[in-house]
């Protein structure tokens, strides 16, 4: 007998048909209780495991979900992975992870590899370069559903889970204004990211609602590199009237921005009050955490996105499913103060 027991070997040992063993292992009502227990006991004794390929052939499912993130090492995405995995394990699915490293080309390569692995569905948070979606739309021909989360596309007919950074940005500006800050700047991310556009819109609307002048000199961008953030903070600090508050794209950008501000002899919290997004774990241990950070609840986003995807996969089995049933869920974000 081979190292890995098969249904045929169980059938031969018990002198029954392969179909009888298969039905007994699947708890079929046509198999008598005594026969069923005998077969199941032997299967446990032999450490029998169902053949994944056979299950895929029968159910037309691989029970594998693809997950693509910009950077798994980031606190936000590692927390979202925990939410995804907890739901996946509970429902008998395994996860195939990939990183785009914020490159649309790498994102395409990872998607192609996952299609070859016959994933049942895809969860993705888009790269900073992704501003076209044909490589994702092509998954339709493979009948692979997609749920976007966190970094989602500005499209209506997609399923997605997100937090509103637009609302969060308005709330930040309201809070900073109450602290007496009236020259509020923002270090935004690349234009291609939808969340950058939402931050900018929230910034402009928030400033306008406080009857303050919208000064585009107070808007800078970073590509998330230290150098990019350094250039942005230097431009803001060298303005004729520098800011008294700075909102950074996320807490990682904030940490770099604060470092360069201190190098420029800025008294953090007194000269400039810093705000940010993500509420990452390291903030608790940082010497200069943001005065306020927007918690976008990554675990809940991952958990919600995974549940949404499993629901879509289940609906696909129904003859009534037409592929045009989209769901969009906003996970409310909350300001956290240091």
Is 69 in the same domain as 138?
yes
Distance CA 128, CA 149 (A): 14
274 and 125 housed in the same domain:
no
Same domain assignment for residues 102 and 251: no
pLDDT of 193 over the 80 cut: yes
Looking at the structure, tell me whether residues 171 and 214 fall in a common domain: yes
Q: Is the same domain home to 187 and 112?
A: no
Whether 338 maps to a domain, the answer reads no
Q: Report the number of distinct structural domains present in the chain.
A: 3
What is the residue-averaged pLDDT of the chain?
92
Report the distance separating Cα 96 and Cα 80, nearest Å: 14
Quick check: is 17 in a domain? yes
CATH number at residue 304: 3.40.50.2300
191 with 249, same domain?
A: yes
Question: What is the predicted pLDDT for the residue at 54?
Answer: 58
Does the residue 2 lie in any domain? Answer: no
Determine the structural domain holding residue 45 and report its residue range. 7-50
Residues 104 and 117 in one domain: yes
Residue 53 has pLDDT above 60, yes or no: no
Q: 1 pLDDT band (50/70/90 cuts)?
A: very low
> pLDDT per residue over 148-162, tens digit each?
999 999 998 999 999
Nearest residue to 305 via CA among 181, 126, 114, 46: 126
Answer whether residue 337 is part of any domain. no
86 found inside a domain? yes
32 and 99 both lie in a single domain? no
Same domain, 183 and 262: yes
Sequence-ordered strand ranges (E) for the chain: 64-69, 94-99, 121-124, 146-149, 159-162, 184-188, 219-221, 245-248, 273-277, 292-295, 328-330, 334-337
Are residues 184 and 289 both part of a single domain? yes
pLDDT exceeds 80 at position 60: no
Q: In this prediction, what percent of the chain has a pLDDT beyond 70?
A: 95
In a domain, 197, yes or no: yes
Chain segment 98-144, per-residue pLDDT in tens: 999 999 999 999 999 999 988 999 999 999 999 999 999 889 888 89
Look up the pTM and report it: 0.80
| 242 in the same domain as 214 | yes
Given a contact cutoff of 8 angstroms between Cβ atoms, the answer to whether 213 and 182 are in contact is no
State pLDDT tens for residues 194-212: 899 999 999 999 999 999 9
Pairing of strands 159-162, 328-330: parallel
Does one domain contain both 144 and 239?
no
264 falls within a domain: yes
- Residue partners of 68: CB distance under 8 A and separation at least 6: 97, 98, 99, 100, 107, 110, 111, 114, 122, 123, 124, 125
Residue 1 lies in a domain: no
């Amino acid at each position: 007998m081979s190292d890995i027991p098969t249904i045929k070997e169980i059938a031969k040992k018990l002198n029954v048909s392969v179909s009888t063993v298969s039905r007994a292992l699947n708890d079929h009502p046509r198999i008598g209780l005594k026969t069923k227990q005998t077969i199941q006991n032997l299967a446990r004794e032999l450490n029998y495991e169902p053949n994944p390929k056979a299950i895929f052939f029968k159910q037309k499912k691989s029970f594998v979900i693809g997950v693509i993130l910009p950077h798994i090492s980031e606190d936000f995405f590692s927390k979202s992975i925990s939410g995804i995995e907890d739901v996946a394990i509970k429902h008998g699915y395994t996860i195939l992870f990939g990183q785009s490293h914020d490159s649309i080309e790498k994102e395409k390569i990872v998607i192609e590899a996952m299609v070859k692995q016959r994933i049942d569905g895809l969860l993705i948070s888009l790269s900073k370069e992704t501003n076209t979606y044909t490589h994702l739309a092509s998954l339709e021909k493979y009948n692979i559903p997609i749920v976007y989360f966190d970094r989602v596309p500005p499209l209506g007919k997609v399923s997605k889970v997100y937090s509103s950074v637009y609302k969060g940005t308005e709330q930040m500006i309201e809070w900073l204004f109450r602290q007496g800050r009236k020259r509020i700047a923002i270090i935004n991310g690349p234009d291609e990211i939808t969340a950058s556009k939402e931050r900018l819109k929230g910034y402009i609307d928030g400033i306008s609602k406080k009857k303050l002048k919208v000064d585009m000199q107070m808007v800078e961008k970073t590509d998330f590199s230290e150098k990019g953030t350094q250039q942005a903070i230097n431009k803001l600090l060298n303005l004729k009237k520098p800011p008294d508050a700075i909102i950074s794209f996320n807490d990682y950008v904030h940490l770099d921005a604060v470092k360069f501000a201190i190098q420029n002899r800025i008294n953090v919290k007194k000269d400039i009050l810093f705000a940010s997004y993500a509420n990452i774990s390291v903030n608790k241990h940082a010497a200069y955490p943001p005065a306020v950070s927007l918690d976008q609840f990554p675990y809940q986003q991952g958990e919600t996105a995974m549940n949404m995807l499993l629901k879509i996969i289940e609906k696909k089995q129904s003859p009534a499913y037409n592929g045009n049933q989209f769901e969009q869920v906003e996970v409310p974000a909350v300001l956290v103060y240091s």
